[in-house]
A and B are shown apart, each in its own frame.
Chain A
């Protein structure tokens, strides 16, 4: 699967959509999480806080509690997802970036289930054909 830089393109898309606040939010993520500290964790779900503006997955990773940032749940809720959809104890593999503030916190670039499939929607797991 090819991966390509989409930074400029992403901002163009966002500008096309007239959503300047989304572009700024993108930049803000890089202020909160460290691009030089990628992580790949496996843990068990304690709780998925289905909150806005971003949801939070609370995981137990190697005996420690972590919180991993995900997206707004609102579109998923329109598609029938509820707080019961991802059972407590589900194994999640998370690829992302560590928070800069030194706490057990990260942003989840990809959330992958134990069978290699992607949580919820879209995309393809790394290493799989697009």
Chain B
């Protein structure tokens, strides 16, 4: 028999379920406008707003690498983007991270203007642009002009390893799911030396959460480096100013002194 109590209880339960669904990334209930081929429209220029590019784990503010730059270039603190808080390294993996951190001024590939890899490129403080087509979704990054090609049909394996990986994508309801393998082991996750091996596989989910924001989450699968899979998640914000556009950040020149300065001809 359905009584008033049942009715109220049912409404409360439905409300709770709705709230639960709303708090799970990708299931906010928001539906993005459609492209001509009926898919959620993710075209646009997007950018993260976190301090994860310094350190994806929670970390306080700290002095920067050059004291001369004082407060202009010091480390911004943040709550981190790692779900569960800590990266589950194996003992060797943690050792390597600590070595990386100790030698980061020499080792960080970002300093050398090397392609940043995934997912680092997604939360570096530079915009990127999604160009969405039924067969290919391109992600073009301002930093170093890095390019990701996401193959939406004709999924194949990576012919050879690369810095930005080999991405196969598909739609799952409102979410773009991107499965990427074929990474070189030469990229880091941040400036703190968090790293991975060449067995890395990432699974990313992009889901619109409002007209100008996306939920982004990435699952890291690398049994050589970590004891289990783990996730990072953060919102991505649309660059809404009129005439938004990526600006060239062709940084090779900025890194040449660091890379080749010691090979210069010495002028007497």
Q: Kindly list chain A residues whose C-beta atoms are within 8 Å of the C-beta of B60.
A: none
Complex interface: chain B residues within 8 A of A50 (CB): 159-161
Q: Does A73 contact B (CB under 8 A)?
A: yes
**How would residues 133 to 175 of chain B score, 1 for a CB under 8 Å from any chain A CB and 0 otherwise?**
0000000000000000000000001011100000000000000
What's the Cα separation between A81 and B161 when bound, in Å? 13
User: Shortest distance in angstroms between A72's beta carbon and chain B's nearest beta carbon?
Assistant: 12
| Residues of B close to A83: CB separation below 8 A | 159-161
A77 to B161, CA, bound (A): 12
In the bound complex, residues from chain A placing their C-beta under 8 Å from that of B160 are: 50, 73, 77, 82-83
Q: Separation in Å of the B250 CB from the closest CB of chain A? A: 16
CA gap between A50 and B184 in the complex, in Å: 11
Please report the C-alpha to C-alpha distance between residue A117 and residue B161 in the assembled complex, in whole angstroms. Answer: 27
Within the complex, what minimum Cβ distance (angstroms) separates B252 from chain A?
A: 13
Residues on the B chain within 8 Å of A73, using CB? 160
With CB as the reference atom, state the residue of chain A lying closest to B160: A50
Q: Give residues 64-102 of A contacting B (CB, 8 Å).
A: 73, 77, 81-83
Residues of B bordering A, CB below 8 Å: 157, 159-161
Residues of A within 8 A of B (CB): 50, 73, 77, 81-83
Known: A50-B161, A73-B160, A81-B159. 10 other contacts (CB 8 A): A50-B159, A50-B160, A77-B159, A77-B160, A82-B157, A82-B159, A82-B160, A83-B159, A83-B160, A83-B161
